[in-house]
Amino acid sequence: MGIWDRLRGNKGKGRQQAEEPQPQPNEQQGQAEEQGYGALVGFVLLQGDAFDYTPFIHEMRQRWGIDLSDQGDPEGGAFVFEVDGMRAACMYVPAPIPNREVEENCRYNLIWPEAEQVVSQHQAQLILSVLNYNDPIEGHALFTKAASSLLQSGQALGLYMAPAVLEAAHYTELAQMLQEEELPIPLWVFVGLYSGEQGNSAYTVGLNKFGRDELEVVESDKTPGELYEFLYMITQYLIEYDVLLQDGETIGFSEEQKLTLTRSKGIAVEGDSIKIGY
Structure confidence by residue, pLDDT tens digits, 59-110: 999 999 999 988 877 777 899 999 999 999 999 999 999 999 999 999 888 7
Q: Is residue 183 located within the same domain as residue 61? A: yes
- Rounded distance between C-alpha atoms, residue 71 and residue 57, angstroms: 10
Q: Is residue 6 part of a domain?
A: no
Q: Is residue 60 part of a domain?
A: yes
pLDDT for 262 beyond 70: yes
Q: Is residue 149 located within the same domain as residue 262? A: no
Q: Is residue 178 located within the same domain as residue 250? A: no
> In degrees, to the nearest 5, what angle opens at C-alpha 234 toward C-alphas 245 and 64?
110
Structure confidence by residue, pLDDT tens digits, 2-43: 444 444 444 333 323 333 443 333 443 333 343 334 799 999
Which of 187, 204, 239 is a domain's end point? 187
pLDDT at residue 74, rounded to an integer: 74
Pairing of strands 86-93, 124-131: antiparallel
Q: Is residue 94 located within the same domain as residue 227? A: no
pLDDT band of 222, cuts 50, 70, 90: very high
Q: Is residue 123 located within the same domain as residue 197? A: no
SS3 assignment, position 275? strand
What residues are paired with 77 via a beta bridge?
none
Q: Is residue 26 part of a domain?
A: no
Q: Is residue 238 part of a domain?
A: yes
Q: Is residue 1 part of a domain?
A: no
Range of the domain at 207: 189-276
DSSP secondary structure string for all residues of 142-186: HHHHHHHHHTTSTTEEEEEETTEEEEHHHHHHHHGGGGGT---HH
Yes or no: say if 42 and 161 are a contact pair by the CB < 8 Å rule: yes
What is the pTM for the complete model shown?
Answer: 0.85
Q: Is residue 175 located within the same domain as residue 196? A: no
> Rounded mean pLDDT of 223-230?
95
Q: Is residue 9 part of a domain?
A: no
pLDDT band of 141, cuts 50, 70, 90: very high
pLDDT at residue 211, rounded to an integer: 92
Q: Is residue 14 part of a domain?
A: no
Q: Is residue 48 located within the same domain as residue 182? A: yes
Which of 130, 153, 187 is a domain's end point? 187
Q: Is residue 183 located within the same domain as residue 193? A: no
Q: Is residue 44 located within the same domain as residue 92? A: yes
Number of domains comprising the chain: 2
Q: Is residue 202 located within the same domain as residue 169? A: no
> In degrees, to the nearest 5, what angle opens at C-alpha 44 toward C-alphas 65 and 48?
110
